[in-house]
């Protein structure tokens, strides 16, 4: 019994000492489950710089592990050593993949430590420039009048544009009115929309604002509960909720995660650094430039972060099951 207590005491001291020495000389890798240059990648690189300032001697690097709707990168982190040196930065897909993929190598709520939310990115409902509609109401009427003749593009299964399109059609009850056209990324989907090869798309403000401002696409509404009254471009467009889609409120949020079993002291170090990074004026300014809103509510706390993701999982599963379209 004495040996058992001695071993437990030594283990506790060992873990405490390791956490105190964290991160040491080893870099902290933030895994992004999407390609370099995309919105989530940009958030990760800005966050890496902001968090580096908060943990003395730290070296944050961003690693892209794209594929399978973000599940490759998430699996990589779920199976990584729980030592605080491999983190995951993921968007709303963290809540969507359990609905889209019925066979996953990880369980979202069980295989990760939740470290806090980062930001919310509004979405914009946009159409090709040739569409005859100029207001959301005219746009909705046009869709209903042309059921079965139109298509809606997205950047791939599990992408932000895919989820937005699913939820919008589910709420509007027009899931059979448009044919879904998947692309291998946001850029080709947007190019097809601008060129008139597809009719409709719903994507993040980080991708749509410049296209709207340049007149290359038509904008009809934003997906937040209220209009984006302070946004220089999108303030002119109504919210979907305002246009009668009761309860519709969708943002593409980002959160930070570690492998399950990462020591509590390390999780606290990372959460403290994250909270400070979210108050960094430079980080806030960069997010504003992307049309993103830095989280400043209780979702920066790990427990609230997890509770929020669990609720999002229920909401998204309902929409995916209604559509009856899965990735596997």
Query: Which CATH number do you get for residue 128?
Result: 3.40.190.10
Same domain flag for 234 and 307: no
Q: Are residues 236 and 277 in the same domain?
A: no
Contacts of 275-279 with CB under 8 Å at 24 or more apart are 275/116, 275/300, 276/54, 277/47, 277/50, 277/51, 277/53, 277/54, 278/50, 278/118
Query: How far from chain centre, in Å, is Cα 10?
Result: 41
> Scanning the structure block, which residue is given the tokens 């946001």?
186
My answer on whether 133 and 217 are in the same domain is yes
Residue 1 included in any domain: no
14 found inside a domain: no
**Which pLDDT value is given to residue 310?**
98
Note the pLDDT of residue 325: 72
Give the domain range for residue 137.
122-243
Looking at the fold, whether 80 and 128 belong to one and the same domain comes out as no
Q: pLDDT tens digits for the chain (328 residues)? A: 444 444 444 444 444 555 568 999 999 999 999 988 888 999 999 999 999 999 999 999 999 999 888 999 999 999 999 999 999 999 999 999 999 998 999 999 999 999 999 999 999 999 999 999 999 999 999 999 999 999 999 988 888 899 899 889 888 887 678 999 999 888 899 999 999 999 999 999 988 999 999 999 999 999 999 999 888 899 999 999 999 998 899 999 999 999 999 999 999 999 999 999 999 999 999 998 777 899 999 999 999 999 999 999 998 998 888 777 777 7
Whether the CB-CB separation of 69 and 93 falls below 8 Å is answered with yes
Residue 33 covered by a domain: yes
Give the per-residue pLDDT at 11: 46
Write down the pLDDT at residue 159: 85
Return all residues near 249 (Cβ < 8 A) that are at least 6 apart.
223, 224, 225, 241
Q: Indicate whether 79 belongs to any domain.
A: yes
Question: Alpha-carbon Rg of the chain, whole angstroms?
Answer: 21
Cβ atoms of 260 and 82 within 8 Å: the answer is yes
Tokens of 164: 């937005």
- Please give the Cα distance from 90 to 73 (Å, whole number): 9
Same domain for 158 and 303, yes or no, is: no
Q: In terms of domains, do 129 and 181 share one?
A: yes
d(CA 133, CA 78): 46
Specify if 7 maps to a domain: no
Q: Is residue 221 part of a domain?
A: yes
> Residues 56, 94: one domain?
yes
Q: Output the pLDDT for position 175.
A: 65
Q: Compute how many other C-beta atoms are within 10 angstroms of the C-beta atom of residue 103.
A: 8
Residue that is last in its domain, among 210, 243, 276: 243
Contact 249, 92 (CB under 8 A): no
How far, in Å, are 155, 158, 299 from residue 182 at the CA level? 6, 10, 32
CATH number of domain containing 110: 3.40.190.150
Same structural domain for residues 186 and 81? no
Q: Can you read off the two tokens belonging to residue 140?
A: 């909705």
Residue 5 counted as domain residue: no
Cα distance between residue 197 and residue 94, in whole Å: 30
234 and 135 co-located in one domain = yes
Tell me whether residue 188 is in a domain.
Answer: yes
pTM of the model: 0.84
Question: Do both 145 and 177 map to the same domain?
Answer: yes
Claim to verify: residue 60 and residue 141 sit in the same structural domain: no
**Domain final residue, candidates 215, 243, 271:** 243
Domain endpoint, select from 243, 262, 286: 243
Which H helix or E strand runs over 219?
strand 218-222
The DSSP element (H or E) to which 8 belongs, if any, is: helix 2-21
One domain for residues 127 and 199: yes
β-strand pairing of 178-182 with 251-259: unpaired
Q: Give the total number of structural domains in the chain.
A: 2
Q: Spell out the residues 6+ positions from residue 40 whose beta carbon is closer than 8 angstroms to its own.
A: 32, 33, 34, 89, 90, 91, 254
């Amino acid at each position: 019994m004495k040996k058992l207590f001695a071993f437990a005491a030594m283990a506790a001291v060992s873990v405490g000492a390791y956490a105190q020495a964290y991160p040491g000389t080893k870099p902290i890798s933030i895994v992004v489950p999407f390609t370099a240059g995309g919105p989530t990648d940009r958030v990760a690189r800005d966050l890496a710089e902001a968090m580096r300032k908060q943990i003395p001697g730290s070296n944050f690097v961003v690693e892209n592990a794209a594929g399978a709707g973000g599940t490759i990168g998430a699996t990589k982190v779920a199976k990584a050593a729980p030592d605080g040196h491999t983190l995951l930065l993921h968007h709303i897909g963290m809540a969507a993949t359990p609905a889209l993929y019925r066979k996953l190598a990880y369980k979202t709520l069980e295989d990760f430590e939740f470290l806090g939310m980062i930001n919310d990115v509004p979405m914009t409902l946009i159409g090709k420039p040739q569409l005859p509609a100029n207001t959301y109401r005219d746009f909705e009427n046009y869709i209903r009048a042309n059921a079965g003749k139109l298509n809606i593009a997205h950047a791939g299964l599990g992408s932000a544009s895919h989820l937005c399109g699913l939820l919008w059609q589910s709420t509007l009850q027009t899931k059979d009115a448009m044919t879904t056209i998947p692309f291998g990324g946001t850029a080709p989907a947007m190019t097809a929309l601008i060129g008139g090869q597809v009719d409709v798309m719903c994507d993040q403000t980080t991708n749509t604002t410049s296209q709207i401002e340049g007149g290359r696409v038509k904008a009809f509404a934003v997906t937040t509960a209220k209009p984006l009254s302070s946004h220089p471009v999108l303030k002119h467009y109504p919210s979907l909720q305002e246009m009668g889609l009761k309860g519709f409120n969708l943002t593409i949020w980002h959160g930070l995660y570690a492998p399950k079993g990462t020591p509590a002291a390390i999780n606290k170090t990372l959460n403290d650094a994250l909270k400070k990074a979210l108050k960094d004026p430079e980080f806030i300014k960069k997010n504003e430039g992307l049309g993103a809103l830095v989280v400043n509510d209780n979702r920066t706390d790990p427990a609230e972060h997890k509770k929020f993701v669990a609720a999002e999982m229920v909401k998204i599963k309902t929409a995916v099951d209604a559509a009856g379209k899965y990735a596997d």
